[in-house]
Structure 1
């Protein structure tokens, strides 16, 4: 006779079915209530301490001898309102350059990383070329690359006349591709060699193995690093103003020269911060999520 045939048999302790669900004990309910109380207390203490700290800083800054002059020169609401249309229009140019540069960096860096991971003596020239590229552009400051690309390449006379922001986009792609290529390479090399051997044993070519097996795993491993590089590029896209492109920074410079007030620069800086905040928060959330999954043994 099985437990199911015996009316006096209790629920199967292994299957965990056949009986009513157990309610939490009084001790467990007390623990949950204590954790809720501690969470609420921590949130309140954090809020109060933050407000007190901000108030102390504000009182200190306001009571400094030069605060009045600084407020008039950097935080004039009337000047900010007047400069808003031109600065915001320049920010739209920065966003367009950023989106195009991000796609270019993603594609070029992936090609460079793939070249650096090729095996075999026959591919040595390609590996050396990719390594030299990454070494060169990781060593050059971005502003120098902007000058070389923005003023040097047009001076050759072999390229069509292009707007300055196009040359700035090319300089961003050249520089950031070197950094992101190393991120990709680290992710590719972090994938266990057995994954590649398994793909080849199934008859997949090297390219298809890389595309369908290695890159998806590498992408999950390096996503936070890629997003951090994107955040960095969001700031550096403002450097295209050195080539004459009327972006947010150049527009702020024009408004500052017209009003003899630095408030437009503060306005442009705040707009760049607002542009970067969503990606920063998303990067933090994704990094914490992947860390939790790794700690519990899940697939990152």
Structure 2
């Protein structure tokens, strides 16, 4: 006797049944493989055509020789690379340090804004005002106001380090954005989760810590990683205060030779970090969506 199930055939009574796809299933699999191969071929050909056309347009342009000498001088790029890398270390260090304080401060803001306690009403008002103000002011203006305003106060004990002041400006601005991302994650958790936790005897703090926050942070991980990429790029703005980061180092070298290859060198350094982070963010987003879809099906 034979048992047929979902296109697979097995002989009953065998000690070890061997399952094999039916002819129809094999045909479907082969068709899917061919379709995937065709899509991949079309993608490769179209990409080569578009990128090749752009490359030909640039290379055959009348000013390409001058642009190549001014922006893509390989010898000069290798000469200034150590100095630009030294400045880029400042960007990396500032990103890591600022990222830690942003995480702590923004989480506090999000928890205060999401709190339902009447006693925290004044703090909710202050947190809301803070978020509205610093989300509405360009980061460059905040850097200028803090970088030049705080030293002008001449208060004893306050630092005049442009690196610290630039870092503070980045922290207070990004904390407003990240706080809203975290708060959106908290609000996305279904109210039944909170009610179920309270029915088990958990208080408000325990509910937020053990039930709400883990789900919220998992959902907003991709946008938080995206903010990290933006943070690394925006640390270059502190160069306006005179901090010798990658941007400032490139500017100094370019002003000496009137050759803009150092800017391209700094650009490549940023891309070496931001592109992998961006791809990792996309992968995290895809995994998160697959997890949510699996939960929805279940």
TM-score w.r.t. structure 1 length? 0.90
Between stretches 80-89 and 46-55, larger displacement belongs to 46-55
How far, CA to CA, are the matches of 1:18 and 1:297 in structure 2? Answer: 38
1:21-40 mapped onto 2 (5 Å cutoff) = 21-40=18-37
Q: Report deviation, 1:262.
A: 0.8
Provide Cα deviations, 1:185-212, integer angstroms capped at 9, x if missing partner: 1111111122122222222221121111
Between stretches 225-234 and 170-179, larger displacement belongs to 225-234
1:149 maps onto 2:176 in alignment:
no
1:42 maps onto 2:55 in alignment:
no
Q: Report deviation, 1:134.
A: 0.1
Q: Secondary structure at the match of 1:245?
A: coil
Contact 1:293 1:299 in 2 (8 A): no
How far, CA to CA, are the matches of 2:123 and 2:133 in structure 1? Answer: 15
Contact 1:87 1:252 in 2 (8 A): yes
Q: Report deviation, 1:260.
A: 0.9
Q: In structure 2, do the counterparts of structure 1 residues 10 and 55 end up closer, same or farther at CA, with 3 Å as the change threshold? A: closer
Q: Report deviation, 1:50.
A: 1.4
Q: Report deviation, 1:126.
A: 0.5
Residue of structure 2 in register with 1:163 after alignment: 161
Q: Report deviation, 1:162.
A: 4.5
Q: Report deviation, 1:149.
A: 1.4
Q: Secondary structure at the match of 2:20?
A: coil
| Alpha-carbon RMSD | 2.2
Q: Secondary structure at the match of 1:297?
A: helix
How far, CA to CA, are the matches of 2:294 and 2:264 in structure 1? Answer: 44
1:238 maps onto 2:236 in alignment:
yes
Q: Secondary structure at the match of 1:246?
A: coil
Equivalent residues, number: 289
How far, CA to CA, are the matches of 1:44 and 1:264 in structure 2? Answer: 38
Contact 1:10 1:18 in 2 (8 A): no
Q: Report deviation, 1:131.
A: 0.1
1:1-300 mapped onto 2 (5 Å cutoff) = 20-158=17-155, 159-297=157-295
How far, CA to CA, are the matches of 1:190 and 1:172 in structure 2? Answer: 27
Q: In structure 2, do the counterparts of structure 1 residues 234 and 61 end up closer, same or farther at CA, with 3 Å as the change threshold? A: same
Q: Report deviation, 1:229.
A: 1.1
User: What runs of 5+ residues in structure 1 fail to find an aligned partner?
Assistant: 1-8
TM-score w.r.t. structure 2 length? 0.91
How far, CA to CA, are the matches of 2:18 and 2:129 in structure 1? Answer: 65
Between stretches 134-143 and 30-39, larger displacement belongs to 30-39
Q: Report deviation, 1:273.
A: 1.3
How far, CA to CA, are the matches of 1:31 and 1:57 in structure 2? Answer: 39
Residue of structure 2 in register with 1:3 after alignment: none
How far, CA to CA, are the matches of 1:110 and 1:185 in structure 2? Answer: 8
Provide Cα deviations, 1:47-94, integer angstroms capped at 9, x if missing partner: 222122222111111121221211111111122111100001111110
User: What runs of 5+ residues in structure 2 fail to find an aligned partner?
Assistant: none
